[in-house]
Chain A
């Protein structure tokens, strides 16, 4: 039997998990729905709460509740150029180059936090199928660089997943839309998500999905639309910069802005009444859609620049595009849709839910890998050029952006002084001319060169980008034919020891988190039973004797105390069951009474 391969859309704001059932791809749903918010909240004992429950903790536990962690995947301290002071949690750009998120007693990297989200999605799929699942396809923004892709793969590993393939989000969307289409077409996918923007141009040719070019901005997304709106609201309220950036004020405004953005997608204008708790800040505002459009127009212009470049790189013009696909929650904003439609003169496809389309594509790619779908193949490209630092800090590119993958390039190195035994190589990714403006993927040294006259040794270094877009490097001494694999440090400064420790920690935390989550589930269920019983008491207490009422009140108190003070899941489950039993007896009495009331005053022939 073929192994199941799940598809995962690991988004900045929300994540989804999907599968292909032999006929179509479906997003897996649990009691909270299809979407799992990409939010992780760390409790005092270090355990992690993920998703909807973590979202509920954003206000009460802001410094330990992490959202938009995807923005930090694969980033080193030197990459953090955007101002993240607005985030309620603390970003630590340490001297060792590793970006960490710090709170009281914990210091975690982005892959470790993302791993919690992936674990949750894995569990969601496992609960759905009732079996253990490990094989998966994870989507990433097309414009993710090698470090960002490797960080995603690493997060998957930490979550106990076997990441068969990393695919680009716009490509996944095209797969979702194009599965039944076998005719030729040129497609543009405009993917504006919560925290990233991507555009890809694809050619569909008899079951082959060929990516022609890709472009984007990994630091631009729906969050930026919210920020633009926060600035607008703050300026209307005449808030100072200091006030605006106060943690709880900012969080309040962020939530208002998010809701306003959604409401303005349906209404021309909205009225807001703002009253920020524990502050004198309050006021009534009216925000129109055109004010919102104006606030975000510079952001949409930034996306157009990337679109133009992608079209140019594909050697096409705007009028050559046959189909336009919109992906990502931010494309629900009417102004975004109108603008894209104007650029291409085509009505964009939006019939697949933009929140789900990437996950659906990931499941389809999973089915291609497992062999469930045949005669469809995806030909992808690398989004950024790869090069190395040469004299004067200039970058010499050896694999150009939008090269079809897998691909390779070779460079031959030699020594510059007599008896030199090592050559240092600095690998970079990006389009800029100077090393300082590109992303450093790693430095390595070709050592063990036999002492010889300068220029005599010849070492051929092969740079390979695999079908996942991940870089592998190997070197061969052309004189001795001795080969060696080179490890280009994948996790931006994380040593092998740290990586090993993280893997160990992930297994330890998995147990803690599982316990925590189960306890949380038990408490939620208990609260639901208490609430239902209290409502019954309010409406039908006359059906019970005073002893029965007292007994139920006592059970409610015992269970409430256990919820507040105990971490003993068995105790809470036992108390819940006993209250539930009492409430069931009560429910029977209510039912009997209801039937009796209905039957009263009716003749037998009316029934």
Chain B
């Protein structure tokens, strides 16, 4: 049965509260593949939006309005998360209360660069050379992010990861990878802000 049929009655045009559809993976029919394609996600997003959007329940009961809001929130937050493999992994670990952000030190492999970057960022005004340097660093770190993405997808594949509870060793590996990504992402954002200003 498609996810639409499991939450919507076409005959009565009413939404059904289905406790089995409670996560992004359930709604987007990707419980066995945590990295679905963009086409798959968009197809579900558009087909569900046509039936469950709150505007279509303007004159409905309070319960139907609440259900429409609930599924629409899940749909909107879901596509944003599932389109990004890092966000997906973060959501998945959080879902099973296994996300650990305590180890958020500077990843050793980029330690040298970080000192140089912080020095440039601490300047009140930056020279053209320094700006160029920041642009190079952004490019370099975006390359690193691509590598991390590949590593994450390999982990998914290697450990046949699905939406169920992960084993602790795998969770630890993914936590470390996500923390590195999160650090790099923040650094890129700081550099972009500095360039914009």
A370 adjacent to B46 (CB under 8 Å): no
Q: Does B3 contact A (CB under 8 A)?
A: no
User: How many A residues have CB within 8 A of the partner chain?
Assistant: 25
What residue of chain B has the Cβ atom nearest to residue A375's Cβ? B50
Q: Does B118 contact A (CB under 8 A)?
A: no
Select which of B50, B56, B79, B80 is within 8 A of A207 by beta carbon.
Answer: B50
B69 adjacent to A406 (CB under 8 Å): yes
A407 adjacent to B58 (CB under 8 Å): no
Given contacts A377-B49, A467-B69, 9 further A-B contacts (CB under 8 A): A165-B55, A165-B58, A365-B55, A369-B58, A403-B76, A404-B80, A406-B73, A407-B80, A467-B55
A404 adjacent to B79 (CB under 8 Å): yes
Please give the distance in Å from B189's CB to the nearest CB on chain A.
10
What residue of chain B has the Cβ atom nearest to residue A378's Cβ? B55
Select which of B58, B69, B193 is within 8 A of A164 by beta carbon.
Answer: B58
Q: Does B104 contact A (CB under 8 A)?
A: no
B73 adjacent to A377 (CB under 8 Å): no
B193 adjacent to A433 (CB under 8 Å): yes
Residues of A contacting B76 with CB < 8 Å? 403-407
Please give the distance in Å from B117's CB to the nearest CB on chain A.
17
1/0 per residue, CB under 8 A from A, across B33-61: the answer is 00000000000001001100111101100
CA distance A365 to B56 in the complex (A): 11
Chain B positions within 8 Å of A, measured between CB atoms, are 46, 49-50, 53-56, 58-59, 69, 72-73, 76-77, 79-80, 193
Select which of B49, B58, B73, B77 is within 8 A of A379 by beta carbon.
Answer: B49
A371 adjacent to B53 (CB under 8 Å): no
B53 adjacent to A464 (CB under 8 Å): no
CA distance A377 to B76 in the complex (A): 14
Chain A positions within 8 Å of B, measured between CB atoms, are 164-165, 205-208, 365, 368-371, 375, 377-379, 403-408, 433, 464, 466-467
Known: A207-B50, A377-B49, A379-B49. A408 touches B55 (CB 8 A): no
Residues of B contacting A403 with CB < 8 Å? 76, 80
Select which of B46, B49, B59, B79 is within 8 A of A371 by beta carbon.
Answer: B59
Specify the main secondary structure of chain A where it touches its partner: mixed
Select which of A371, A404, A466 is within 8 A of B54 by beta carbon.
Answer: A466
Known: A404-B76, A407-B76, A433-B193. A377 touches B55 (CB 8 A): yes
What residue of chain B has the Cβ atom nearest to residue A403's Cβ? B80
Please give the distance in Å from A203's CB to the nearest CB on chain B.
10
CA distance A339 to B193 in the complex (A): 28
Residues of A contacting B80 with CB < 8 Å? 403-404, 407
CA distance A164 to B58 in the complex (A): 8
17 A-B pairs within 8 Å (CB atoms) are namely A165-B55, A165-B58, A208-B46, A208-B49, A365-B55, A370-B59, A371-B59, A377-B56, A403-B76, A403-B80, A406-B73, A406-B76, A407-B80, A433-B193, A464-B73, A467-B55, A467-B72
CA distance A406 to B80 in the complex (A): 13
CA distance A406 to B73 in the complex (A): 5
Please give the distance in Å from B186's CB to the nearest CB on chain A.
12
CA distance A368 to B59 in the complex (A): 11
Residues of A contacting B53 with CB < 8 Å? 377-379, 467
CA distance A405 to B49 in the complex (A): 11
CA distance A368 to B49 in the complex (A): 14
CA distance A378 to B80 in the complex (A): 18
Residues of B contacting A433 with CB < 8 Å? 193
